[in-house]
Chain A
């Protein structure tokens, strides 16, 4: 039977892990992800799971052990944030290059320097080209639901890619919310048994993982990368299928992204993660004032569903893309660039502006969101004169 519990996002992730009962978890503490690991080690200590828990000496070793364990043949997961993810980066590419279905819970946090333990998406952006599927969560329930779906996505025979579930650090990770914890048996049935694929542990059929590919004429590096790209094409379909199946089973439906009052909107906010909730409130207020504003909430970031996003956004007059990472040295931050790129070539393209918010945990208040919408409306009338990027709630 499903129950409603009062849990933080990190506890929700641990709860999902309890139900998944992974074979190996290797992790290292870092705020704000630490309590995932703490909650889980407690479950291990109490025999609620029979996972082999490795309390490694660094995040580099956490991801390295995950690679070794996953290649040996079983379900493997870890959790981290910011500096921890940065230390893992080398092995993130190896995990995806070896097509190992490892799961990572990322309680997002600002990257140093200056050192900051609060939430933003700079770590999630750091890994965006690492060959991992990346899914954002708005709240505690979504973090839990996404983690369960991630098992199926990662292990799908046409995908076989590692999956990262992002939850906003210090917000979703630490906020207490109501969480529907689904029935253990129903979850078990949904995720299914793990099917090993060329496991190292099958010593009667020895396999080689991680051979180099350097000899000219016989190098297959490019082809291996091309296959990973194809796996992402499959993932786009698989994420939708599994989101649908999850909805049919548990009543909460998931697609590639969420549209909120977008159908007849003239203006849209595009945003990912925890602050989307505030954006929805602001949209309700604006709607009451007669302004046709909607939200497109990013869920799946990798693979980037650009065609579907284009179709959802192309008729609009203006779009305010909210990014929670630094655009230093670029035209704008990643969501902005990828949304603009998705809209390239459409007739009468919408005006697209970029608003940077919440770096290092800086508050995003309803008035800031309002301001961004107003600026976007203004730009559709006056045209964009130079400034594509704005900064919300900053001392200038």
Chain B
């Protein structure tokens, strides 16, 4: 089924699955993720959105260390953690083996087993980038999901290439000379789009229907698909655990974190705020940005706003240029 066809189908959210069938969820309660962690929400939403048998390859990071703890496991689906930088390569091997077993008649050819690779932004943008790029180029049928909490959180909150300009982390501390991270965040979805794979999407758990729809499209892409999802980290962003989704939604409403997809070359923004809020709405309520609101750092906020505006305009232009403005 073409990706676009899936998109036009109005699919219901499987609320029941989350509300009443917790004992059937892919991740059992009792994991060790922090209260208010975005990863948990993302994972539950993901598995509620689809019904395939799924094999998971998980990169080292918060999700991995908090869900598979010998002799226990939170996973009710087949799951493997190999190392930090190789979730995509591991998933390549899984996908190849499924293909081989089907070809040799050791597995029913019509069994719809799906492969999901999961990594944090460190395991995706940085150390795992080469393996990811290789797997995408080779065309393995897998969904790669990045839960992007904008830093190396499992090791205590260090910078990654996804950490935003100005943010304070344990390796870009706010000092008397240097006020936080001095480099811009790299745009992983643009890089993945340049691989010309069938499907790339950016999403947020604060817009669940949008996320669920994108996940379904990703799994039906008939080739590699990449989904980047913003994931609040109360511990290292310095946010109140109960406010995670509200804060995440501010990233969307300010257009700091645009929701869009690149569906076989067509760029489509899937949510356009009626009124684009100023970026300070996103920067507020997060301790990692607290210093930015000081008068002497006004230039930094201005720079963030200007960069954000530039990227948003670029995205709008891409949407127009590729014919993505019509109905999805």
Hey, which chain A residues are within 8 Å of B85, CB to CB? 60
A56 to B94, CA, bound (A): 14
The answer to whether B97 and A73 have CB atoms under 8 Å apart is yes
A26 to B53, CA, bound (A): 25
Choose one: B73, B104, B131; the contact of A64 (CB below 8 Å). B131
Interface size for B (C-beta < 8 A) is 48
Q: Does A86 contact B (CB under 8 A)?
A: no
Q: Does A54 contact B (CB under 8 A)?
A: yes
A254 to B100, CA, bound (A): 33
Choose one: A50, A72, A76, A211; the contact of B104 (CB below 8 Å). A50
Q: Does A74 contact B (CB under 8 A)?
A: yes
In the complex formed, the residue of A with least CB distance to B53 is A203
A219 to B70, CA, bound (A): 7
A91 to B135, CA, bound (A): 17
A104 → chain B closest CB, angstroms: 14
Choose one: A51, A65, A224; the contact of B93 (CB below 8 Å). A65
Question: A203-B53, A206-B76 are known contacts. Are A51 and B100 too (CB-CB below 8 A)?
Answer: yes
- Choose the segment among B61-69, B230-238, B261-269, B315-323 that binds chain A (4+ C-beta atoms closer than 8 Å): B61-69
A355 to B92, CA, bound (A): 44
- Counting chain B CB atoms within 10 Å of each CB, the highest count among A52, A60, A212 belongs to A52
In the complex formed, the residue of B with least CB distance to A219 is B70
The answer to whether B83 and A65 have CB atoms under 8 Å apart is no
Hey, which chain B residues are within 8 Å of A203, CB to CB? 53-55, 77-78, 113
Q: Does B295 contact A (CB under 8 A)?
A: no
Question: A64-B131, A65-B90, A91-B86 are known contacts. Are A201 and B97 too (CB-CB below 8 A)?
Answer: yes
The answer to whether A64 and B101 have CB atoms under 8 Å apart is no
A208-223 interface bits toward B, Cβ cutoff 8 Å, 1 = contact, 0 = none: 1111111100111000
Hey, which chain A residues are within 8 Å of B68, CB to CB? 208, 210-212
Q: Does A69 contact B (CB under 8 A)?
A: yes
Q: Does A68 contact B (CB under 8 A)?
A: yes
B152 → chain A closest CB, angstroms: 16
The answer to whether A201 and B107 have CB atoms under 8 Å apart is yes
Q: Does B82 contact A (CB under 8 A)?
A: yes
Hey, which chain B residues are within 8 Å of A57, CB to CB? 130-131, 133-134, 137
The answer to whether A68 and B69 have CB atoms under 8 Å apart is no
The answer to whether B86 and A61 have CB atoms under 8 Å apart is yes
Q: Does A23 contact B (CB under 8 A)?
A: yes
The answer to whether A60 and B69 have CB atoms under 8 Å apart is no
The answer to whether B80 and A212 have CB atoms under 8 Å apart is no
The answer to whether B81 and A209 have CB atoms under 8 Å apart is yes
In the complex formed, the residue of A with least CB distance to B84 is A90
The answer to whether B131 and A200 have CB atoms under 8 Å apart is no
Closest 5 CB pairs of A and B: A68-B93, A57-B134, A211-B68, A65-B93, A69-B93
Hey, which chain A residues are within 8 Å of B65, CB to CB? 212, 214
The answer to whether A54 and B113 have CB atoms under 8 Å apart is no
A85 to B12, CA, bound (A): 49
Choose one: A50, A54, A73, A91; the contact of B138 (CB below 8 Å). A54
A110 → chain B closest CB, angstroms: 25
In the complex formed, the residue of B with least CB distance to A21 is B104
Question: A52-B99, A208-B73, A218-B69 are known contacts. Are A91 and B93 too (CB-CB below 8 A)?
Answer: no
A224 to B71, CA, bound (A): 11
Choose one: B73, B78, B86, B90; the contact of A211 (CB below 8 Å). B73
> Which residues of chain A (40-76) have a CB below 8 Å from chain B?
50-52, 54-58, 60-62, 64-74, 76
The 9 listed contacts between A and B (C-beta, < 8 Å) are A24-B97, A51-B100, A54-B93, A69-B97, A71-B80, A74-B97, A202-B78, A212-B65, A219-B70
Q: Does A346 contact B (CB under 8 A)?
A: no
Hey, which chain A residues are within 8 Å of B47, CB to CB? none
Q: Does A207 contact B (CB under 8 A)?
A: yes
The answer to whether A201 and B113 have CB atoms under 8 Å apart is yes
Question: A209-B79, A209-B80 are known contacts. Are A54 and B92 too (CB-CB below 8 A)?
Answer: yes
Question: A201-B113, A206-B76 are known contacts. Are A68 and B101 too (CB-CB below 8 A)?
Answer: no
Q: Does B298 contact A (CB under 8 A)?
A: no
Hey, which chain B residues are within 8 Å of A191, CB to CB? none
Q: Does A309 contact B (CB under 8 A)?
A: no
A188-211 interface bits toward B, Cβ cutoff 8 Å, 1 = contact, 0 = none: 000000000000111110111111
B110 → chain A closest CB, angstroms: 14
The answer to whether B78 and A200 have CB atoms under 8 Å apart is yes
The answer to whether B70 and A74 have CB atoms under 8 Å apart is no
Choose one: A61, A67, A72; the contact of B98 (CB below 8 Å). A72
Q: Does B89 contact A (CB under 8 A)?
A: yes
A62 to B93, CA, bound (A): 9
Hey, which chain A residues are within 8 Å of B80, CB to CB? 67-68, 71, 200, 208-210
In the complex formed, the residue of B with least CB distance to A220 is B70
